[in-house]
Amino acid sequence: MRPVTLVFVLFILSACTGHYDADEFDLVKLKTAFEQLFVAPTNGNRIEKQWWPSEIKKLDPESIMKIEKGIYIKLDSFFVEQRGLFIPSPGTMIEPGMHSDPGYVLLGEGIYSYYVTG
């Protein structure tokens, strides 16, 4: 296999590969940060960087979106795939599952990893 092809294949394989693990985050601190995001103003559905709490900024998200269902923090994306963290709005029920689209996995503290395959 040619080196350029090998690098391309490795790049594709290292793209979004699924859900995050709970041990990658301080969920207690993130829970507090999410609560701050629920009261942050939006531009359409987007929460602009100026309103991101420092604990969220440390994650270096691509974007943050607040919709009726809850708040999505997009951490990675590749073409139509994306993954990140999600916390539902109060009263919203989430059906955890890895094989739906989006798929949700409960990490703890009411925070989910989400994964969208497009």
Contacts of 78 (CB under 8 A, 6+ apart): 15, 16
Residue whose C-alpha is closest to residue 101's, from 86, 81, 87, 85: 81
Q: In whole angstroms, give the CA distance from residue 58 to residue 41.
A: 20
What pLDDT is recorded for position 13? 39
Dump the DSSP string for 54-80: HHHHTT--SEEEEETTEEEEEEEEETT
For 31-86, the pLDDT digits (tens) are 999 999 999 999 999 999 999 999 999 999 999 999 999 999 999 998 888 999 99
φ, ψ dihedrals at 47, nearest 5°: -100, 120
For 52-62, the pLDDT digits (tens) are 999 999 999 99
Distance of CA 103 to the CA centre of its chain: 11
Looking at the DSSP assignment, which residues form a beta bridge with residue 77?
A: 82
